[in-house]
Amino acid sequence: MSDLKHDYVTTYTSEFSKIDINRVNQICKKLLAEAKDTLQKEGIRPENILSLFSADIRYLGQFNEVNIDLSFNESESFGEDNVKYLNKLFHKTHDSLYGYSLPNAELELINIRLQAVGKTEKPAFRESPRQSSDASHALKNNRQVFFYGKFMSTPVYDGLLLKHGNIVFGPAIVEEPTTTIVVPPDFDLTCDSHDNYLLHRKDQNLEEVISILKERLQ
């Protein structure tokens, strides 16, 4: 279900003023060819391969390098303009990370990296039919549970029986074969259209909670 990802790195140490443009292009092409070959063997179509190049750069003589995006694709080779852009981007990133930059200092290229991502086909999740809010059919028993400094009589529900639209009012316990969900007294639990559990504060509007979640997942 998840995308496939492979990381590649080749060390090429050079002062920026002495960078061999042809060498950089050779490295990038070799890494890209290896990545494509690997991903295609794993069943990824060429149009679903995303290639993200970057370079580890530092001030000459400095110990720590900074990883900077490197622009490269097969149709447009890496050139002098790319070197100038890397120089500018490095100083900007270094200033953002460490609070200073040295625009006139010599830079040093250390590594060229490639992160190759193979986009996989995601399954289409089917929605469950909406049921009523009544969750009493899933009630197993009641037991004393310690919340906020005291014991409370707490209903225990069978999670496998809860369906889309059912609401469990806190305090409550939802038992699954491999996990237990605790619903505190100031929270409620709702099953969404894919039978996920949504816990929300009692003073929150459920529709607002779902809307916020959808925005964050986009």
| pTM of the full structure | 0.61
Q: Is 174:180 a contact under the CB 8 Å cutoff?
A: yes
181 has a pLDDT exceeding 70: yes
1 has a pLDDT exceeding 80: no
User: What residues pair up with 57 in beta bridges, in sequence order?
Assistant: 66, 109
Predicted pLDDT at 211: 73
- What average pLDDT does the segment 135-151 reach? 94
Cα–Cα distance, 142 to 43 (Å, whole number):
51
Least confident of 5-14, 52-61, 191-200: 191-200
Q: Among 216, 42, 8, which residue's Cα sits nearest to residue 119?
A: 42
Count of H-run helices and E-run strands, the chain: 3, 11
CATH 3.30.1490 range(s) for the chain read: 4-118
- Relative to beta strand 139-147, strand 107-118 is unpaired
CATH number for the region 4-118 comes to 3.30.1490
Other CB atoms within 10 A of residue 23 CB: 14
Peptide bond into 155 cis (omega under 30): no
User: What residues pair up with 128 in beta bridges, in sequence order?
Assistant: none
Could you read off the pLDDT of 4-51 as tens digits, one per residue?
Answer: 999 999 999 999 989 999 999 999 999 999 999 999 999 999 999 999
Cα–Cα distance, 16 to 80 (Å, whole number):
10
Q: Is 123:107 a contact under the CB 8 Å cutoff?
A: no
Could you read off the pLDDT of 101-132 as tens digits, one per residue?
Answer: 999 999 999 999 999 999 998 888 788 888 89
Q: Is 127:75 a contact under the CB 8 Å cutoff?
A: no
